[in-house]
């Protein structure tokens, strides 16, 4: 992170009046950014060593992140998309002593918690202090149990990730980054805050566009791309699919000027990637996880190969052991908070293989389905096809215990008929085609994690307790044989 603060100081001197970050309500120039970071870091001088960030995003979040980092403290985002119970767990699990938030009333039940307003008072004009190192951030993942686990990321992991991603993104001071993914997610912190600072690029946050990730109307998302005309952005497959469908329906293409759009967080079908490329969205699919500082492999602009997540990042070593992706190198986390240090080689729990020197993701190891006839099916293989439908937020394939039938659960934003999804499934072998379907709303309790991926424990319960509809007319014995 030393390079990030050195770049911040440089831009404040060389381009003091250029816009650095802007959101729906405000903007800051490079010189104003330095002033606000210095002011808030001074305000944190007597604060506890572990500080939470209870801000949805935007300019104030960036300043809070940088100020906490500058003071060498540990920061813990409290994601706006987590439940109250999950964030309460984070507060106690991370032993947070202070939180940066607008409204102290949010934490009235915790009088021992120091609540700090992100708008720091003005102090004497002082230069940006040198970063001394040692800061950490704890990124909580929702996990299958619903209780988040804290992934500890320090200077080593961030420095290695920034060094590897900088030449791939290729950002310059001419770039405009549109931040859509929530800032509590590590990947957006890296690509929406730190890489733009290193390059002197401008970043814009549009919270209404971010809401599209969670099923909100797509209009503000489309408007953001058309008015801001960004050159780079990060997207999740679910919103990419909705955007592609909208462009096709309206006979339009993506705004000109886009040169790099990374997509990840869940698998994307080759059909979706190819359609996005044909519509002028320069999609580069990647793969990663918080435990390895967000990115392990990434397709490069102009070298993207559909169906793969590209080359492994420089400095990392990926080995496939019994079908599982394992990673070693400087981006592997410090460890889980309140747990043991991470091993030298991290077993990701993801299945994959190499196609030449490019990594291909096959699915989650713990999600693998084994049919009564001994067939192995990665549910993601089926789900990613259905998820290309813009009406579908997510889906989960599971096996019913009573008869071994493959049942697909679909979370839809608007009514969907079973026959509507048949075209997405006709190109896969019959043994992997779901026999029945259960259609639920996106708000089905406990079915979707905040990022939109399915909770497979809930899916299994639904398959065994909820009425279903016939999807394919072939007999069940034919499909399970």
Instruction: Please write the tens of the pLDDT for every residue from 244-275.
Output: 999 999 999 999 999 999 998 877 888 899 99
Q: Which helix (H) or strand (E) holds 247?
A: helix 237-249
Give dist(CA 283, CA 149) in Å, integer. 30
State the number of CA atoms in the 13 A half-sphere of 178 facing the CB.
28
pLDDT for 143: 55
10 Å CB burial of residue 330 (0-12, 13-18, 19+) is middle
Mean pLDDT of 27-41: 96
pLDDT in tens, 343-390: 999 999 999 999 999 999 999 998 889 888 788 898 998 998 898 888
Residue identified by tokens 């497979």 is 456
pLDDT in tens, 277-332: 999 999 999 999 999 999 999 999 989 999 999 999 999 999 999 999 999 999 99
pLDDT at 475 over 50: no
pLDDT at 115 over 50: yes
pLDDT for 376: 87
pLDDT for 389: 86
More confident of the two residues 125 and 56: 56
pLDDT at 477 over 90: no
pLDDT at 474 over 80: no
Lowest mean pLDDT among 11-20, 212-221, 275-284: 212-221
SS3 call for 440: strand
More confident of the two residues 86 and 233: 233
pLDDT at 478 over 60: no
pLDDT for 476: 40
Closest CA relative to residue 268, chosen from 240, 303, 300 = 240
Mean pLDDT of 170-184: 97
Residue identified by tokens 């990419």 is 240
- In sequence order, what DSSP letters do the residues of 273-317 get, joined into one string? HHHHHHTT--EEEEE--GGGTT-SEEPPTT---TTS--EEPTT-E
**Mean confidence (pLDDT) of the chain:** 92
Give dist(CA 416, CA 368) in Å, integer. 27
pLDDT for 124: 62
Give dist(CA 424, CA 464) in Å, integer. 24
pLDDT for 119: 87
133: left (phi over 0), alpha (psi -120 to 50) or beta: left
pLDDT for 467: 93
Please name every residue paired with 441 in a beta bridge, in sequence order, or none if there are none: 412
State the number of CA atoms in the 13 A half-sphere of 343 facing the CB.
6
Q: Given pLDDT bands bounded at 50, 70 and 90, which one contains residue 68?
A: very high
pLDDT for 120: 67
pLDDT at 96 over 50: yes
At how many degrees (to 10) do helices 2-14 and 155-169 cross? 60
pLDDT at 123 over 70: no
The full set of domains in the chain, from first to last, is 2-361 (3.40.50.12780), 368-480 (3.30.300.30)
Please name every residue paired with 142 in a beta bridge, in sequence order, or none if there are none: none
Residue identified by tokens 């992170």 is 1
pLDDT at 122 over 50: yes
Query: What is the distance, to the nearest Å, from the Cα of residue 41 to the centroid of all Cα atoms in its chain?
Result: 27
Mean pLDDT of 31-53: 95
Give dist(CA 296, CA 428) in Å, integer. 28
pLDDT for 373: 77
State the number of CA atoms in the 13 A half-sphere of 258 facing the CB.
23
Q: Residues 343, 156: contact at Cβ < 8 Å? A: no
Mean pLDDT of 188-201: 98
Spell out the alpha helix ranges (H) of 19-105. Answer: 30-43, 58-70, 84-93
Question: How large is the C-alpha radius of gyration of the chain?
Answer: 23
pLDDT for 415: 87
Spell out the alpha helix ranges (H) of 370-412. Answer: 379-386
Give dist(CA 162, CA 181) in Å, integer. 18
SS3 call for 439: strand
Mean pLDDT of 168-197: 97
pTM of the predicted structure, to 2 decimals: 0.88
10 Å CB burial of residue 320 (0-12, 13-18, 19+) is middle
User: Which stretches of 356-390 are assigned E, i.e. beta strand?
Assistant: 358-364, 369-370, 376-377
Give dist(CA 87, CA 140) in Å, integer. 9
């Amino acid at each position: 992170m030393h390079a990030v603060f050195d770049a911040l100081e440089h831009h404040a001197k060389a381009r003091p009046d250029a816009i650095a970050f802007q959101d729906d309500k405000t903007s800051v120039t490079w010189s104003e950014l330095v002033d606000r970071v210095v002011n808030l870091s001074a305000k944190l001088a007597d604060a506890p060593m572990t500080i939470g960030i209870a801000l949805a995003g935007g300019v104030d979040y960036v300043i809070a992140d940088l100020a906490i980092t500058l003071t060498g403290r540990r920061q813990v985002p409290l994601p706006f998309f987590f439940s109250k119970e999950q964030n309460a767990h984070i507060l106690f699990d991370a032993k947070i002593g202070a939180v940066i938030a607008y409204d102290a009333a949010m934490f009235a039940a915790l009088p021992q918690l120091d609540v700090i307003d992100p708008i720091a008072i003005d102090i004497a004009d002082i230069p940006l202090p040198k970063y001394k190192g040692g800061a950490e951030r704890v990124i909580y993942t929702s996990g299958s149990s619903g209780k988040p686990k804290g992934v500890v990321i320090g200077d080593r992991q961030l420095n290695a990730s920034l060094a590897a991603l900088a030449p791939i993104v290729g950002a310059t001071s001419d770039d405009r980054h549109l931040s859509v993914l929530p800032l509590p997610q590590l990947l957006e912190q890296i690509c929406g805050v730190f890489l733009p600072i290193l390059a002197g690029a401008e970043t814009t946050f549009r919270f209404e566009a971010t809401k599209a990730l969670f099923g909100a109307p797509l209009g503000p998302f489309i408007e953001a791309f058309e008015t801001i005309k960004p050159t780079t952005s990060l997207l999740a497959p679910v919103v990419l699919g909705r955007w592609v469908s909208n462009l096709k329906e309206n006979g339009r293409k993506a705004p000109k000027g886009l040169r790099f759009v990374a997509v990840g967080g869940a698998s994307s079908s080759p059909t979706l990637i190819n359609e996005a490329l044909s519509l002028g969205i320069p999609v580069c699919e990647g793969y990663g996880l918080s435990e390895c500082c967000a990115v392990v492999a990434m397709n490069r602009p102009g070298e993207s190969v559909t169906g793969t997540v590209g080359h492994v990042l420089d400095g990392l070593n990926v080995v496939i052991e019994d079908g599982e992706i394992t990673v070693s190198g400087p981006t592997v986390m410090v460890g889980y908070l309140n747990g043991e240090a991470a091993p030298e080689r991290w077993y990701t729990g993801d299945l994959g293989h190499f196609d030449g020197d490019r990594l291909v993701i096959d699915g989650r190891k713990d999600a693998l389905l084994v049919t009564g006839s001994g067939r192995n099916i990665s549910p993601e293989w089926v789900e990613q096809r259905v998820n290309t439908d813009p009406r579908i937020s997510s889906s989960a394939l599971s096996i019913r215990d009573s008869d071994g039938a493959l049942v697909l659960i679909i979370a839809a934003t608007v009514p969907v008929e079973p026959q509507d999804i048949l075209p997405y499934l006709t190109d896969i072998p019959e043994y992997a085609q779901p026999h029945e379907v259960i259609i639920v709303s996106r708000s089905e309790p406990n079915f979707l994690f905040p990022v939109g991926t399915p909770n497979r424990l809930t899916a299994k319960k639904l398959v065994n307790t909820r009425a279903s509809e016939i999807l394919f007319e072939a007999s069940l014995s034919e499909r399970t044989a």
